[in-house]
Amino acid sequence: MKAWLFYLKFILKGGYTNSFKKLKFTTTSWIGKTVSIYFEPGGTPRQTIVLGEGVRVSNFSDLTVGTNDALILKDYTTLNTHCKIIGEVTIERYCLLSANIFISSGQHYATRFPHLLIRQQDEKILGTEAGQRQHSKPVHIEEDVWIGFGVFIKQGITVGRGAVIGANAVVLHNVGPYEIVGGNPAKKIKDRLAFSPPAHIRADLEEHRPYFYRGFDHYGLNRQNPSGAPGMFAFEESTIAIPATSTGTIQCRGFIAGSQPITVEISVDGHSVGTYTLQGATFDLNVPLTGQVPSQGEINPFSFITFAVPYDKRLCLGFNSIKIV
């Protein structure tokens, strides 16, 4: 869809924005009636709002970013009516958000200088460079998360892949992968599934698909690929959850759609382990680990291996299996 046509439909539906040029969208992005998209004046070049493929932002919702924030809604994520998303927030693919949800990376200040009005405290703190730098704490919602009606998610929260948050929950702490939480404050009720990455992860096994954690085309599993076996096509950055490990070798078996070589940057838990050039219809790549510190965070008691390719090579790289030996 041409930008002018998207903007015309947006305005005819009663939408408001103060900077349409900072809004990024695709031909399949959809915005409902009376949606507000607001950019804090004086923004840096980083300030943006991104709507991925198939994203739906329903009626009367508000998307707002500060001067140095990026608000990103990735492919096939849906916001129902009256959602309010503010600041440095990333919502990954395949997420379902019900109505009346509030998510913000910022806050007000009531106790720093308690003798002052809250508004005066805000002005005093945000009037300093350090205050502005520390004000926004990113919120990250991983893939396949379902958030119920009326949920509040405070700044700095990470919600793990596949989690479910019950209606009217107040989320003050991180939520682990595939946990079901509810209440005020939100507490774990049970697990949607036992999330424990095996040493050998295979795309042909349905029970292994949750470990293709982020950045894979889960709708495209049955697409033909050069390997002739089931495989997961990867977007420009893709992540697989593996058992926590600092030594050994990760054996990656996969395929390439197209005749051109692909350069892949690989990291484990944020530590680079090398750049590789892959070519041919299929590949077997051995990635040695050299003493990386396993992830020990509250939300991720396992490790992540991440593959990054140029944007124009998204969905050209795919994986049949990952094995740690």
- Ramachandran angles phi, psi of 254, nearest 5°: -160, -160
pTM above 0.85, yes or no: yes
175, 263: one domain: no
Q: pLDDT tens digits for 198-216?
A: 999 999 999 999 999 999 9
Place of tokens 């709708």: 219
23-24: strand order across its sheet: 23-24, 48-51, 70-73, 89-91, 139-141, 158-159
169, 301: one domain: no
- What's the CA angle centered on 155, arms 159 and 115, to 5 degrees? 155
CB-based burial label for 128 (10 Å; 0-12, 13-18, 19+): exposed
Q: pLDDT tens digits for 14-40?
A: 999 999 999 999 999 999 999 999 999
Domain count, the chain: 2
What's 227's domain CATH number?
Answer: 2.60.120.260
- Kindly state the tokens that stand for 272: 């680079």
- Kindly state the tokens that stand for 144: 């396949």
- The DSSP code sequence of 20-55 is GGGEE--TT-EE-TT-EEEE-SS--TT-EEEE-TT-
180, 229: one domain: no
| Model pLDDT, residue 38 | 98
Beta carbons of 215 and 239 less than 8 angstroms apart: yes
38, 140: one domain: yes
* Cα separation of the two ends of the chain: 48
Last residue of a domain, one of 191, 217, 251: 191
30, 72: one domain: yes
Q: pLDDT tens digits for 247-272?
A: 889 999 999 998 899 999 999 988 89
69, 207: one domain: no
Domain span holding position 226: 200-324
181, 205: one domain: no
30, 86: one domain: yes
Q: pLDDT tens digits for 238-247?
A: 999 999 877 8
Last residue of a domain, one of 150, 166, 191: 191
Q: pLDDT tens digits for 275-290?
A: 999 999 999 999 998 7
What's 174's domain CATH number?
Answer: 2.160.10.10
Averaged confidence pLDDT in the chain? 93
133, 23: one domain: yes
- C-alpha distances (whole Å) from 162 to each of 11, 48, 173, 201 are 35, 26, 16, 18
237, 127: one domain: no
- Kindly state the tokens that stand for 35: 């949606």
Last residue of a domain, one of 163, 191, 219: 191
147, 69: one domain: yes
179, 210: one domain: no
